[in-house]
Amino acid sequence: MAERKAYPLRINGEVLDAMQRWSDDELRSLNAQIEYVLREALRRAGRLKTPPAAAPDDEG
């Protein structure tokens, strides 16, 4: 697993409240939700390497 680093974040109160509601809906901590949203945005933008797909099973 990658090293985790602390980073202070300044964020608009309205955005923070919306993220908190979303994280509550998804049963995640606010920190985990922010990381999830950032990771998805990076992946969609092609800026985050995705892990290689698992090899297909020999069955079949």
Tens digits of residue pLDDT in 11-57:
999 999 999 999 999 999 999 999 999 999 999 999 998 765 655 56
- pTM (predicted TM-score): 0.73
**Domains in the chain: how many in total?**
1
Evaluate whether residue 55 is within a structural domain.
Answer: no
Evaluate whether residue 39 is within a structural domain.
Answer: yes
Q: State both tokens at 45.
A: 């933008």
Range of the domain at 18: 13-44
CA atoms within a 13 Å half-sphere pointing along the CA-CB vector of 57: 2
Burial code (b: 16+ CB inside 10 Å, e: under 16) for 26-60 equals: eeeeeeebbeeeeeeeeeeeeeeeeeeeeeeeeee
Evaluate whether residue 59 is within a structural domain.
Answer: no
Evaluate whether residue 5 is within a structural domain.
Answer: no
CA-to-CA distance for 11 and 53, rounded, in angstroms?
Answer: 35
